[in-house]
Amino acid sequence: MGSFVVGVTDTFYNEDGEPNLSALRGNFLGLPDDVEVVKVPQGNTGNCEPDSLRGIDAFVMGGGKFDTYSLSGNDRLLGVFRWGVGYDTVNLEDCAAAGVVAVNAPEGVRKAMAHTAIALVLALAHQIPAQDRFTRSGETWANKAKYLGPGLVGKTLGVVGLGNIGQEIVRIASALDCTILGYDPYAKLDNPNIRRVEIDQLMRESDFIIVQCALTPETTKLISAERLAMMKPTAYLVNTARGPVVDEAALIAALQNGTIAGAGLDVFEKEPIQPDNPLLTMDNVILAPHSLGWTDYFALTTAKSVADSIMAVYIGELPANTVNRRQLESSGVLPRFNRQKG
């Protein structure tokens, strides 16, 4: 192996050994020639296996969990680099205690995921999947009025989570002639196009709700059975954040009982979605395998962000997107790349 080795989980590659994201074929991360890139088996346990991570300096991961188990017997790894913005599967404290930096790549996600959320809202508002099925069925077009959607003009759109992606959603939605409500107890946002409200009011008043907040202990099952019951029976829920932010069992019940009209989901409590999940049989739900935002723009921008962060560690600097900075400072442990530099 080379003097600096980057391990990339094998889930990024297809059976031909090419990156799954077509925009990155031929130049995945664009790293210098003296940096070696190797594939790391993901495994089936849900954890990043320690045996696969030995002998590498930087680990680029998609899914799976990364914690002290993953670091067992490893004194070489310098950094863990998440592909995208979410890092809820990485234990920041465990990384800090070992002197390993944890880094995300939020730059490519903002526009791609905002567009994804709005696309799901518009698909539901215009009943595009239902109209597609109707057109293919051969049913007489005289019945097409049964499949018309409510549209978005004059409706109320609620946005749960007003971080970078949520703010981009607001920017786009402000051109769609709808009222925008927003809930986020922490975000600072001065935008005349949105009215900040508490979450219960947002649930009651919105015709469409986009969930786009980070997954934390505070937001786990934030969209509970009680809050789903507050929604209008004509309202739709879109989740492009993380599956566990929504109580999935309660959502299934609400969809089955007609408590709400439908949903658009790019994320689930358990991924991949299980074959016996009732969501798979529902015509009033749009489903996607946690990949709707994987556009060419997302791929190229994220790859550059990850590569820039890897190169920062390579030259002995703390990456700008380090997400366990606070944990490193409080642990008093010197980052490993600093030890090597010294």
Whole-angstrom Cα distance, residue 272 to residue 202? Answer: 30
Q: What is the DSSP letter of 292?
A: T
The answer to whether the beta carbons of residues 6 and 29 sit under 8 Å apart is: yes
Q: What is the DSSP letter of 341?
A: H
Residue 42: left if φ>0, alpha if ψ -120 to 50, beta else—which one?
A: alpha
SS3 38: strand
Nearest to 328 by CA among 337, 259, 148: 337
Whole-angstrom Cα distance, residue 272 to residue 102? Answer: 24
The answer to whether the beta carbons of residues 211 and 241 sit under 8 Å apart is: yes
The answer to whether the beta carbons of residues 54 and 76 sit under 8 Å apart is: yes
Catalytic positions are 242, 271, 290
User: Phi, psi at residue 319, to the nearest 5°?
Assistant: -60, 145
Whole-angstrom Cα distance, residue 8 to residue 285? Answer: 34
Query: Exposed/middle/buried for 214, CB within 10 Å: 0-12, 13-18, 19+?
Result: middle
Whole-angstrom Cα distance, residue 105 to residue 115? Answer: 18
- The residue behind tokens 């590569």 is 307
Whole-angstrom Cα distance, residue 30 to residue 85? Answer: 20
Whole-angstrom Cα distance, residue 335 to residue 329? Answer: 10
In this structure, which amino acid lies at residue 183? Y
- The residue behind tokens 């809050």 is 227
Angle at 39 between CA 33 and CA 41, to 5 degrees: 165
| Number of neighbouring beta carbons within 10 Å of residue 216 | 11
